[in-house]
Structure 1
Amino acid sequence: MNIPYRALAIGLVTIALSALLFQRAQAGGSHYFAPVGDPVVKEECGSCHLAFPPSMLPASSWQRMMADLKNHFGDDASVDPATARRITDYLLANAGDAGGRRYGDKLLRGTSTTNAPLRITELRKWVREHREVPAWEWKHQDVRTKANCVACHAAADRGYYED
């Protein structure tokens, strides 16, 4: 009688672990944002900073950002018109209120999609998630800016933003 219970227990543990792994694979976990999949977007945006997942901002933010690449957070990030169109199309199609909704909803909840900030670091959810990070840590030589996600989230380039 003891053997069937052991087999049942092992089976249940196996099912539970499989379900957890499957859920993470399906949803990516609560801090997962599908990384940039387009090689041109990854190269152009990623040459200066992490190519941020498009689901982290609504389409209106990406549209405004791409419309003023000459003044991209203090830098001129201008690209040729065809490249700009490709990047814009990709970002809009995968924005947090479009194709990337599955991932972006958790970060954009409560954010006006028509008047959203251009900086991910200004989203209410982002601010709430990072409120316990002391000011001195943002100034550390390995961090330097709140936009340097990979300084604290080693797998950010693969879409994982867990601590």
Structure 2
Amino acid sequence: MLRYPPVLKTLLLMLLTAGSMHAAMADDDEGGEGWFGSRGGSRGGIASAAPPQYKKECASCHMAYPAGLLPSGSWQHLMGNLGQHYGNDASLDAASARAINQYLTSNAGTYKRVSEMPPEDRITESNWFRRKHGKHVNSSTWSRKSIGSPSNCSACHQGAEQGDFNEHSVRIPN
């Protein structure tokens, strides 16, 4: 039987523990890039690099969704069609649109979960959203007054705007 010096045993134990912690934190299909794998984001949330217009303009009507929830192509499409943004005119001045578009596309999801553009560029229509919520959330849950719709992430995920969608901290309101 091989015998290792105590220092080597300690180092090996530390490496194994660190690897286990990283694997435990990673979700089931995103390759350990953080919850939403965006480049430069804070765990996929609204990064400190987000222009002030992003929260001001986008969060005035809905949650300022973490950029990592959609691929770059979806953000480009959404930003290019703000005059018809899900039935509303969300047009912006050119400078604001340019700054927001740059932020979203630079921090868009790049991992396999968001490798395809969802129908109508809707986060709630993406395959991963349907898989994660379809088996856990009854359709009547979405119609609760306290939730309203599947797009109201922060109703159940209190840390949603910071990119925290950890399933262990979900609290579904009555």
Task: Using structure 2 for the length normalisation, give the TM-score.
Answer: 0.69
Give the whole-Å Cα distance in 2 for the aligned partners of 1:130 and 1:35: 20
Give the whole-Å Cα distance in 2 for the aligned partners of 1:54 and 1:41: 11
Count of aligned pairs between the two proteins = 146
Give the whole-Å Cα distance in 2 for the aligned partners of 1:29 and 1:83: 27
Give the C-alpha shift of residue 40 in structure 1.
Answer: 2.1
Question: Which of residues 46, 63, 70 in structure 2 aligns to 1:36?
Answer: 46
Unaligned 5+ residue runs, structure 2?
1-8, 27-31, 168-174
Give yes or no for the alignment of 1:139 onto 2:148: no
Bigger helix share: 1
The residue that corresponds to 1:20 in the other structure is 21
What is the correspondence of 1:44-123 to structure 2 with a 5 Å cutoff?
44-96=57-109, 101=110, 105-109=111-115, 111=116, 113=117, 117-123=120-126
Q: Percent identity?
A: 35
User: What SS does the corresponding residue of 2:134 show, helix, strand or coil?
Assistant: coil
| Mean Cα deviation higher: 38-47 or 129-138 | 38-47
Give the C-alpha shift of residue 158 in structure 1.
Answer: 1.1
Go from structure 1 to structure 2 and tell me whether the alpha carbon gap of 1:81 and 1:143 turns closer, same or farther (over 3 Å shift).
Answer: same
Cα RMSD (Å)? 3.2
Unaligned 5+ residue runs, structure 1?
1-7
The residue that corresponds to 1:156 in the other structure is 160
Counterpart contact for 1:33–1:56, Cα < 8 Å: no
- Following TM superposition, the consecutive aligned residue runs of length 4 or more in structure 1 with deviations greater than 4 angstroms are 21-27, 29-33
**Residue-by-residue CA offset, 1:129-159 (whole Å, 9 max, x unaligned):** 0113111100000111111000111111111
Go from structure 1 to structure 2 and tell me whether the alpha carbon gap of 1:59 and 1:28 turns closer, same or farther (over 3 Å shift).
Answer: closer
Go from structure 1 to structure 2 and tell me whether the alpha carbon gap of 1:116 and 1:58 turns closer, same or farther (over 3 Å shift).
Answer: farther
Give the C-alpha shift of residue 47 in structure 1.
Answer: 1.6
